[in-house]
Amino acid sequence: MKQFEATIYGRVQGVSFRYYTQQEAQKWGVNGWVANQRDGAVKVVAQGAEAALKSFIPFLRRGPIAARVQKVDLFWQEPAEEFTRFEVRWL
């Protein structure tokens, strides 16, 4: 199992980014969470098979149709806990 943490910048709040991220994660069998940040960014922690995560990343780089992704900071990391689903969180 692999894991990454991504912060997505641009017009990513108020455009259903979290909802579509959850749908895309479920499509690939990825667990973890997505949450809006106070600075206007969106944070994602994703966990699963490496191939599934690599298939999920292109969505984060483009987002849903109404989003305008400007930058994605993505860092691979060792899983600290095991997630059993992908959820929307409020931080």
Active site residue 62: no
CA dihedral sign, ordered 32, 39, 9, 62: positive
Active site residue 31: no
Catalytic, out of 11, 31, 36, 62: 36
Catalytic, out of 11, 18, 38, 62: 18
- Measured distance CA(41)–CA(28) in Å, rounded: 23
52 forms beta bridges with none
Catalytic positions, please? 18, 36
